[in-house]
Chain A
Amino acid sequence: MKDRAELVIIGGGVIGLSLAYHLALMGLHDIVILEQGYLCFGASGRNGGGVRQQWSTEDHIRLAQMSVKFYRNFSAALGLNIWFRQGGYLFLARDERSAAAMEKNVKLQNSLGVPTRLLEPSEARRIVPQLSVEGVKLCAYNPTDGVLFPWPVLWGLAKENRRMGIDIETFTRVTAIDVRGGKIVKVVTDRGAIATNLVVNAAGGWSVQIARLAGVELPNKPYRHEILVSEPLKPFLDPMVADLSNGTYLSQTMRGELCGGISDPEEKSSLDNSSSLRFLRRMSRSMLRLFPHLGPVKVLRQWAGYYDETPDGNPVLGHTPGLEGFIQMNGFGGHGFMLAPAVGQLAAEWLLRRKEHGIFNTYNLERFARGELKKEDLVIG
């Protein structure tokens, strides 16, 4: 392992890999990425692969639009098939309040060029004939949203990064971050130390622990989110279906499996990633409400990952107040994968070419002290 680098990225997930990829394309190659486990160990290897542009804030919509373009070209540009399929996202609202919010969000999305349409429940059944729309008031459907397979995205980015001279050290745990005179000077790992003046904290669920090593407190909290896949079925479900009443999301993968999860309001913040029967029960009930014919379909596997959640549902981006050389890129909740290509590119331009972008101010850590929070409402799963 190198003992000196221009930049050390902590976290080998999609955020860190995307940042390194874009930096390398712009000419910075002296980068070490530190990953505590194997590639795919954290949330980047444990999510449902949804990539949507239906959001409630302009920033998220624009970042997601950029990311969709990137994922569309990924397989051709990076030589690995990521199974990106734009089958759309179909949101279901079951009460007046979420139907009203849906109308407002769709207007905003349309004004930014996202072709989301409001649908009556009967129209939604034309897109998914097997869907039970009993109790559904209103739907929103954007045909350009989609689903991908997360693992090859990481492998493709990692392979390309390595080809461009970037070091990716897996199974390497950061044990200390040395600070001298208000500046980062060194990252210490269980496999040796790396002298550097620039560190990016892209550690997802572990970002609070990493920040603490440098004496910085983040307001993020990791929450376990569980997910399951079924046995493979003949393709019948084109869009990702998301039920806003309980945070269920469900899509069909290119292998034919149904894959999805559900919010659990009783989940406490923790770094526990065990699997629970409670999740299986809640998710299967929700799935059967949406698709009553699926009763005999078997669940093959369940697992869990983390949402690295912030108080306002937006990420923490940019400089750390009072500590030079410590960049935050975390707090992406359940949508880091959807925003990573855009955020990686913008952060690379911002770091290397000093090109300003609003997100590094709007979503700076300082905002929590200032109390200027603009909440993202469309967080599901």
Chain B
Amino acid sequence: MAKKIVCRCEDVTREDLQHAFDAGFHDLESIKRFTGMGTGFCQGKGCLAHAARFLAELRGGDEAIRDPIRSRPPWQPTPLCSLAGDDKEEVQ
């Protein structure tokens, strides 16, 4: 069967989520940490809804997904030189 990718940044599949679930991780924060899902370039913007839906199916209800993973700043990956207040180096 073809692989179903949940998190494209970190290459996490549905099988990986299932594995995490089977290992006893039944909440999104834990599944995120165990699989790495949502910790890549988009910080979960692309995968959270898929993972939440899959978890809701596994748990048979939406209880586990009422408290989704906390999204982390910055909103987009941001260069150190911009944050430091010096944009000159960014072009290099």
Q: Say yes or no: A231-B33 contact (C-beta < 8 A), given A295-B92, A299-B83, A303-B72.
A: no
Q: Is the CB of A295 within 8 A of B79?
A: yes
Give chain B nearest CB distance to A18 CB in angstroms. 19
Q: Is the CB of A280 within 8 A of B74?
A: yes
Give CA–CA (A201, B88) in the complex, Å.
51
Q: Say yes or no: A281-B85 contact (C-beta < 8 A), given A295-B80, A303-B72.
A: yes
Please give, as numbers and ranges, the residues of chain A lying within 8 Å of B85 by CB-CB distance. Answer: 281, 285
Chain B 2-56 residues near chain A, CB threshold 8 A: 25, 27, 29-30, 33-34, 39-41, 43
Chain A 30-72 residues near chain B, CB threshold 8 A: 37-41, 45
Chain A, interface SS category: mixed
**Within 8 Å of chain B (Cβ to Cβ): is A298?**
yes
Q: Is the CB of A298 within 8 A of B27?
A: no
Interface residue from A39, A155, A294 paired with B80 (Cβ < 8 Å): A294
Please give, as numbers and ranges, the residues of chain A lying within 8 Å of B43 by CB-CB distance. Answer: 300-301
Q: Is the CB of B73 within 8 A of A284?
A: no
Please give, as numbers and ranges, the residues of chain B lying within 8 Å of A41 by CB-CB distance. Answer: 29
**Within 8 Å of chain A (Cβ to Cβ): is B57?**
no
Give chain B nearest CB distance to A49 CB in angstroms. 13
Q: A277-B73, A296-B79, A299-B83 are in contact. List 13 more A-B contacts (CB 8 A).
A: A37-B29, A39-B30, A41-B29, A230-B80, A275-B72, A285-B84, A288-B86, A295-B90, A297-B79, A300-B39, A300-B41, A300-B43, A301-B39
Interface residue from A45, A281, A302 paired with B33 (Cβ < 8 Å): A45
Give chain A nearest CB distance to B22 CB in angstroms. 13
Q: Is the CB of B27 within 8 A of A288?
A: no
Interface residue from B25, B80, B92 paired with A287 (Cβ < 8 Å): B80
Give CA–CA (A138, B60) in the complex, Å.
60
Interface residue from B73, B80, B81, B92 paired with A275 (Cβ < 8 Å): B73
Give CA–CA (A151, B34) in the complex, Å.
8
Interface residue from A39, A287, A296 paired with B89 (Cβ < 8 Å): A296
Give CA–CA (A296, B78) in the complex, Å.
9
Query: How many B residues touch A, CB cutoff 8 Å?
Result: 25
Please give, as numbers and ranges, the residues of chain B lying within 8 Å of A155 by CB-CB distance. Answer: 34
Residue of A nearest to B30 (CB): A38
Please give, as numbers and ranges, the residues of chain A lying within 8 Å of B73 by CB-CB distance. Answer: 275, 277, 280, 301-302
Q: Is the CB of A281 within 8 A of B84?
A: yes
The contact string, 1 if C-beta is below 8 Å from chain B, for chain A 221-262, is 000000000110000000000000000000000000000000
Give CA–CA (A303, B74) in the complex, Å.
10
> Which of B39, B41, B81, B92 has the largest number of chain A CB atoms within 10 A?
B81
Interface residue from A38, A284, A302 paired with B84 (Cβ < 8 Å): A284
Please give, as numbers and ranges, the residues of chain B lying within 8 Å of A288 by CB-CB distance. Answer: 80-81, 84, 86
Please give, as numbers and ranges, the residues of chain A lying within 8 Å of B40 by CB-CB distance. Answer: 300
Across the A-B interface, the 7 shortest Cβ-Cβ residue pairs: A295-B89, A295-B81, A298-B77, A284-B83, A284-B84, A301-B72, A284-B80
Please give, as numbers and ranges, the residues of chain A lying within 8 Å of B86 by CB-CB distance. Answer: 288, 295
Give chain A nearest CB distance to B38 CB in angstroms. 10
Give CA–CA (A297, B89) in the complex, Å.
10
Please give, as numbers and ranges, the residues of chain B lying within 8 Å of A38 by CB-CB distance. Answer: 25, 27, 29-30, 33
Q: Is the CB of B77 within 8 A of A231?
A: yes
Q: Say yes or no: A296-B90 contact (C-beta < 8 A), given A284-B84, A301-B72.
A: yes
Please give, as numbers and ranges, the residues of chain B lying within 8 Å of A303 by CB-CB distance. Answer: 72
Give chain B nearest CB distance to A208 CB in angstroms. 24
Give CA–CA (A15, B84) in the complex, Å.
36
Please give, as numbers and ranges, the residues of chain A lying within 8 Å of B25 by CB-CB distance. Answer: 38
Give CA–CA (A277, B85) in the complex, Å.
12
Please give, as numbers and ranges, the residues of chain A lying within 8 Å of B39 by CB-CB distance. Answer: 300-301
Give CA–CA (A277, B83) in the complex, Å.
8
Please give, as numbers and ranges, the residues of chain B lying within 8 Å of A37 by CB-CB distance. Answer: 29
Give CA–CA (A277, B81) in the complex, Å.
14
Q: Say yes or no: A280-B83 contact (C-beta < 8 A), given A275-B73, A295-B89, A303-B72.
A: yes
Give CA–CA (A261, B89) in the complex, Å.
22
Give chain A nearest CB distance to B1 CB in angstroms. 28
Give CA–CA (A298, B92) in the complex, Å.
13
Please give, as numbers and ranges, the residues of chain B lying within 8 Å of A275 by CB-CB distance. Answer: 72-73
Give chain A nearest CB distance to B74 CB in angstroms. 6
Residue of A nearest to B42 (CB): A300
